[in-house]
Structure formats: C-alpha cells, structure tokens
Chains A and B, each alone.
Chain A
Amino acid sequence: MSELPTLRRWLGDFREAVERKTSDLDAEQLARRAVPPSTLSLLGLVRHLAQLEHYWFWKVLQRHPEDPQLFVVDGDWESQFDGAAADPALVEEAFTTWRATCAQADAFLDGLPGEALDVVIDPGDRIETIRDVLVQVLQEYARHLGHMDLLRETIDGRTGE
C-alpha cells in the first residue's frame, strides 16, 4: 500500500479505537479522573482530539488560522480538560464536534493526491510538510489511546484494542 493510504488507514483505525474506548459509559464515567493524580478523563481527551483534528486539518492545512481553537477558552489550553464536566450536554457536544471535525478532515484528505505529502506548509518548522502533519496527528492519537486504555480499564475493567 502506498504511503498516503497507509497513513489514512491508521487514522481511521485510531478514530474507531476512540469510539470503542468511550462507548457504553455515562457522563460521570466519561468525565471521571480515573487515574489520579493525573487530571485526564476520557471526555477531556475527546475534546482534545477534536481540537487536534480541527487545528491541523482545518486551521493549518486548510488555512483558517483566524478561527478559534476548539475547546480552548480565553487562550487557556487546560480548559480542554478542565471543562470536561459530567454533564450529558457537554458529552453530546464533545462527540458531535469531534465526529464533525473528523468528517471535515476526511473531506479534505479525500481530495489530496499522494504526492501532496511532500508539500511544505511551514518552511523550517519541525512540522514542515503535510506528511509531518499526518504523522504528528497519528502519534498524538496513539499516545492518547494509551491514556484511554488505562482510564477505561480503571473505570470498568474493559481492555482491548
């Protein structure tokens, strides 16, 4: 399989893993800081992943730098996590927003030819090409899935990919 389809297959697999790691839980369980002293929760991570997709695929790659970062309130990065309260309306908002940003990212990626991976978007930056962006997003998903693995197992014992 060539490079772009390989990277996109990973992205799809990770999004599905996030759905599985967060399924069949109520708002209290999703918002629970289950592994203290860590302040991470599954809901906080879903909000963060929506922010991640929106930042890279919408603000950076589709050039909307003026749009606000999702779930970041008044420039406070931690509000993605701190604002993840046990409220069904917040849960609904988080998942709806995350899924919409994923769909928006896919629509953009569908129109991308394989050779676009080498396109430079930020000369000299550590994340310089479209390839760099995709690999960055993938490794963020993977690491946060590691957090989700332990949060979920602590909440109700569920393990697995």
Chain B
Amino acid sequence: MSDETLHGEEAVLRDYLGHFRRTFEQKCADLDAEQLARRSVPPSTLSLLGLVRHLAAVEYSWWRRVMGHDLALPKMWGKDVHRDADFDGAVADDEVVAEAWAAWRAEVAYAEEFQATHPMDHLGQHDDGPIEMREVVVHLIEEYARHCGHADLLRECIDGRTGS
C-alpha cells in the first residue's frame, strides 16, 4: 500500500471512526452495571449504558437499514414504538449490560465488513433519498465524537476519570 493510499479519504475516515469506537469503549471500561446505568449529570437522562445501546442502534440503522437498502427492518430495542427505548431501557442489570455490548460489537463487526467491501461512493437509501457511504462514515465520526463528549463528563462525574 502506498503512502498516498494510506492517507487518502477512505483510510483517514476509517481510522477516525475506529479511533472513536475504541475511545468510547475505553470511556466505559472498569465500571459495574450500576455505574454504567447511572444518570450522573442530572437533569440529563444520559448514561454510559444508554449510549452503548444508542450507538448499537445507530450503527444498525445506518449500515443495515440505510446502506443495506432495507428501511423496513424494525429499529433496534423497539425504537419504532418507543423512540427513547435505547436510553430508557438502560437499567443497572448485568444481563442488560452484556446484551448492550454484544449488540454494539456485532453491529461494529457488520459495519467494518460492509465498509471493507464497498466503495466510498456506494449509495444507500435514506428517508430523504440516496446517500453516499462517505456521508454515512463522516456522520458516524461526528456522532461518536459528540457522544464521546457526553461520555467524558458522565465518566468524570462517576469516578473522576478523564482523558483519551
């Protein structure tokens, strides 16, 4: 692989998305179910566990529904019926935690496989019309980055940990 390829659009965007997925995972490390589910910055109802469930649903929706041209697929966590189910269902229970991480990891694996086998101008189908894969990847980077900002403050309020 030449240097040019390494630093082209696709490599840069893939690296950033991978970086934020890892950053988000690290923000949630070494915490128990109660800490992960804690709404540690009231009045916000956000929790780290809610964000895990939310990001699993976000990955699922963009890659399977939009890029997979299957908008009829039901949303994750029953979000078609209950829009905030990802956050509201994030309760302090080890099984809920395990289920959330399993869902997130499965969707990230699916996404990485899809990205590796399709070009950046591959078209998906969004509610508003066709959308290129590059738009989806940039959107995901910005969405992860913003949620990592939430995770920064949630985590600092749980146990004081900052950084990365």
Contact = CB atoms under 8 A, between A and B. Distances in A.
Interface stretch (A55-63, A65-73, A81-89, A146-154): A146-154
Given A131-B9, A139-B142, A146 B157 contact: no
A143 B13 contact: no
Contacts of A153: 41, 43-44
Q: How large is the interface on A (under 10, 10 to 19, 20 to 34, 35 or more residues)?
A: 35 or more
A16 interface: no
Interface of B is mostly: helix
Contacts of B60: none
Interface string B136-164: 00100111011111111110110010100
30 contacts: A1-B135, A6-B138, A10-B138, A10-B142, A14-B142, A35-B156, A37-B157, A38-B152, A38-B156, A40-B153, A118-B7, A120-B7, A129-B12, A131-B7, A132-B7, A142-B141, A142-B143, A142-B146, A143-B152, A144-B149, A146-B149, A146-B152, A147-B152, A147-B153, A149-B146, A149-B149, A150-B44, A150-B46, A150-B150, A154-B44
Given A145-B149, A146-B152, A154 B43 contact: yes
A157 B134 CA distance: 34
A142 B142 contact: yes
